[in-house]
Structure 1
Amino acid sequence: MINPSASGWIDKFFGTLSGRLPQYENSHAFYRAIRDTGFIYGHVAKFKNLDAKETGNWTVEEVTKVALLNGLYDAYRLITKTQDTTGFIARATAFYTEMHPESFVLLKKVLPSSPPSYQLENLLDERIKTNDNIISRNFSHILTNALLFMDVLAFRQFLIVGELPQKYLKKLEETVVTIVNLALNSKQDKTQYDDLLIKLFESSVRYTKLSHISVESLDEAGFDYFESKSEKNYLLDVAAMAIWSDGQAQQSEIDFLHSLNQKLGLREEAARESLDSYNAFIKHNKKHIPFFNYSNPVKHFYDHASQSVINLIIRNKNRLIKELGNNGELMLLLTHSTHRSLNDKEKKKVKKQLLEICKTVPSLTIFLLPGGSLLLPLLIKFIPQLLPSALNENLEEEDTL
């Protein structure tokens, strides 16, 4: 049995693949096969080359790690036309070493006498943990793991070009975030959760900031940069997932998906197939993914995160009150806010000083983690309940800082 958390699991994995390797005619067949497993959607429902009894007791992280290795190896076989596992391990290790500047430090953790596969195990462990923050823990593994397929696409380019295409990674991320933004903007009826979904995507990527993206239409997105069917279908599926974020697709969103499909140069029925594929995946696997048992998964994230934050605040109430009392300027601003609306400069000052307080309370450092600032308004909104009644009467509306 393979234990993806124990040293040597990669060698065992390759040892089980004899006679189980699927063959792909082209990149489109390769992509569709991986999509069928659920990896594109962030939840691996099955493996084509492993029996269910071998994977039944694996954790989400272990399943994701093996699925990532599987995708990388399939890309290697597709490009090199070989099944050389030794060569694959060497190339995959080189790829991640170039991708992460800190990789040379990670590899020092592995004994020099250890097999090369141990180095790759170490790198994959760290890659899966990259997004271990307030967002991934509460937003489930669905979003961050869906973006892991970008590693596979980047590795494919690495094999073709012979080096890490840094511009490629940045362009792919930027395009993904752009498409999600445009897809949500195509909604006729937008909600606060659509904006939150954009921020969640942004918090899960390495290079891209929404504030740096000025693309306002599909015509400006620059899809000519991407040539393979794998890339184009992935971009289309990302849009389908964004459209499905609230469990239903409006006509304007469906029209957007078809327009994107045309811009990507895919066959006419690809847009409908993309949406149908995602719907079918959720229908067949919904009972195994609690996240999708809610009519609006993003709203579920926010509600769940809200309760978690409130519980943390309550447990640290006395320490928080003490820190607030020691900050005269902050208390003065809070007092002023009971009589008038704070200006933008004052609101920024309140936010900054609250973050400074969070640094002094270990349990509240979640607000300093990637994505944690999305939840800061919850802390601001809850503060009135911690302060003397003379101060809290008018603070409840000060949650837009």
Structure 2
Amino acid sequence: MQINPSINGWIEKYLNQYAGEISSYNTDEDFFMACQKSGLIYGYVVNYHLKSEIDDEKWDTEEKIKVGFLSTLFALYKSKNRTDVNEFIETINQFYNLISKGKFSFIHKILPSENSFQKLESIINDRLQTNDNIVTKNFTHMVTNAMLYIDVLAFEFYLKNNTISIDFFKEVERKCMAIILYSLNIKNHKSEYDNLLLKMFENSLRYSKISKINKDEIITIVFEGKRSVLENLYLYEVAHMTLLSDGIIHKKEEKFLKDFGSNLNLIKNNQNTGYELVKFIGKYKDELPFFNLNHPVKQFYNNTQDNIGKLVSRNKTRLIKELSESKELVKLLRKSTQTDLSFEEKKKVKKQLLDICKTIPSLTIFLLPGGGLLLPVLIKFIPQLLPSAFNENLND
């Protein structure tokens, strides 16, 4: 029976068919290592904790993450000696209902007529889509999916304590950002990628603000309160992810990781998280956007081109009308396709283009924070929609 994770009813169909195939684990360390191998921690799912193969060839990246996320939650549930599917669905819905309390938008999207399986589908859809506008969504999507693992940690806490609050998420997010900041501070060589990595993590936070982390208390934050073994392993993994952004662990960084693992009370045999990460990157580096170290900005532009192309196409008539009133802008856009513009010419293009975006509701996304990054993509599409009559105008 074919599963389509983008159609209503997929969770019930998937669990009816594969619940018995989803693995359970004897220790937290075994579970975490399986999560590493699945790729969920890195925002790129390649397997689903299944004992048998599943045909996922027709699933896109987001659909794979949906199934991987659901499978991970159920694998955790089974590892706590609970196996009933219906009880799992009720438990996970109660978990999200408890932490919503008016704070999450997804709770308002759930219709009364939806059954428990469909409610969970709505929740998972929302957890994978924290940003509504095209700028932030495409820029932070891969990181948001990596931070999705905090939900797994929170669900474990809920299963142990039968309670949860948003404070749990805030604390783990703050610890993640603190360890990222600390790891970046000890790197021998910082690159533009490191700054971009930090910015993407910051943009993907749901409940915390990086500005509220005092530099003098960074390492103290990491060790605040009680932490589960899974949380310790995850924080240790976040440190590895940060330090491996350039593909190399230097001696000073290696010493930091060793000391950090010891302070997290991770025994030596379980400090293999970095090795699993290296193996995962090595195997999937061409497909893994989070660790596409050479072209992180290129990855961002690739993710947005299709969406901007659709926006330009839908607003073609209005755009042409607005452009026809600005012959100077058209000349510069045409010129940009043949030669580089001067600094002053680029400033003119940006200013006049943003003025046009103000008049077309669908294009106001370019006025949002970060929207300026997308202007080169918009400029790329505009000459393609200009009618030949504009060539004559250029001679005026």
TM-score by length of 2: 0.74
- The answer to whether the Cα contact below 8 Å between 2:49 and 2:75 also exists between their aligned partners in 1 is no
Q: Partner of 1:296 in structure 2?
A: 294
- Structure 2 CA distance for partners of 1:131 and 1:246, relative to 1, 3 Å: farther
Whether the 8 Å contact between 2:153 and 2:231 is mirrored in structure 1 is yes
Q: Which residue of 1 aligns with 2:237?
A: 237
Indicate whether 1:107 and 2:110 are aligned. Answer: yes
Whole-Å Cα distance in 1 between the matches of residues 321 and 254 of structure 2?
A: 51
Q: How far apart, in 1, do the equivalents of 2:302 and 2:60 lie?
A: 22
* 5+ long unaligned stretches in structure 1: 326-336, 339-350, 384-401
2:72 is aligned to: 71
Which digits, 9 at most, give the CA deviation of each residue in 1:75-120, with x for residues without a partner? 22233x2211111111211222333423442112x52xx4321111
1:183 Cα offset (Å): 1.1
Aligned residues between the structures: 350
Other structure's SS at 1:47 match:
coil
Structure 2 spans left out of the alignment, 5+ residues:
329-342, 345-349, 380-396
Instruction: Note if contact 1:138-1:301 (Cα within 8 Å) is conserved in structure 2.
Output: no
Give the 3 Å change call, closer, same or farther, for CA 115–379 of structure 1 in structure 2.
closer
Q: String of CA shifts for 1:352-385, please: whole Å, max 9, x gaps.
A: xx9998654445433455xxx34547869x99xx
Q: Hey, what does 1:276 align to over in structure 2? A: 275
Residue 165 of structure 2 corresponds to which residue in structure 1? Answer: 165
1:4 aligned partner: 5
CA distance in 2, matches of 1:306, 1:63: 20
**Cα distance in structure 2, aligned partners of 1:225 and 1:251:** 30
Is the 1:42–1:142 contact (alpha carbons within 8 Å) kept by the matching residues of 2? yes
Aligned 8 A contact 2:301 2:374 in 1 = no
Q: What residue number does 1:151 align with? A: 151
Q: 1:308 & 1:103 partners in 2: Cα distance?
A: 26
Please list, as runs of the form range in 1=range in 2, the aligned pairs for 1:2-401 lying within 5 A after superposition: 2-17=3-18, 19-49=20-50, 51-79=52-80, 81-100=81-100, 101=102, 102-108=105-111, 111=113, 114-131=114-131, 133-134=133-134, 138-139=138-139, 141-216=141-216, 219-268=219-268, 270-271=270-271, 273-289=272-288, 292=291, 294-301=292-299, 360-362=359-361, 364-367=363-366, 373-374=369-370, 376=372
Residue aligned with 1:95, SS? helix
The one-letter code of the counterpart of 1:41 is: Y
1:28: Cα distance to partner? 1.9
| Aligned 8 A contact 1:42 1:146 in 2 | yes
Q: How far apart, CA to CA, are the structure 2 residues paired with 1:263 and 1:364?
A: 50
Identical positions, percent: 34
Contact 2:130 2:144 in 1 (8 A): no
Partner SS, residue 167 of structure 2: helix
Q: C-alpha distance in 2, partners of 1:206/1:18?
A: 30
Change (3 A) 1:278 1:131: farther
C-alpha distance in 2, partners of 1:193/1:6?
37
Instruction: Give the Å deviation of 1:222.
Output: 4.1
Could you give the per-residue CA deviations for residues 262-301 of structure 1, whole angstroms, max 9, x where no partner exists? 2212123544x22221110011122443665x54343544
Q: Distance in 1 between matches of 2:301 and 2:58?
A: 30
Tell me, yes or no, if the aligned pair for 1:319 and 1:361 is still in contact at 8 Å.
no
Change (3 A) 1:357 1:169: farther
Specify the SS of the correspondent of 1:296.
coil
Query: How many angstroms apart in 1 are the aligned matches of 2:289 and 2:21?
Result: 31
Give, as a single letter, the amino acid of the residue that structure 1 aligns with 2:14: F
**Partner amino acid, structure 2, of 1:5:** S
Secondary structure of 2:177's aligned partner: helix
**TM-score, normalization by structure 1:** 0.74
Matches of 1:308 and 1:116 in 2, distance apart?
A: 35
**Distance between the aligned counterparts of 1:180 and 1:357, measured in 2?**
39
Distance in 2 between residues matched to 1:367 and 1:357, nearest whole Å: 10
Distance 1:169 1:135 in 2: 24
Coordinate RMSD, CA, aligned:
3.8
For residues 201 and 230 of structure 1, what CA distance do their matches in structure 2 show? 20
Query: Offset of 1:232 from its aligned partner?
Result: 0.6
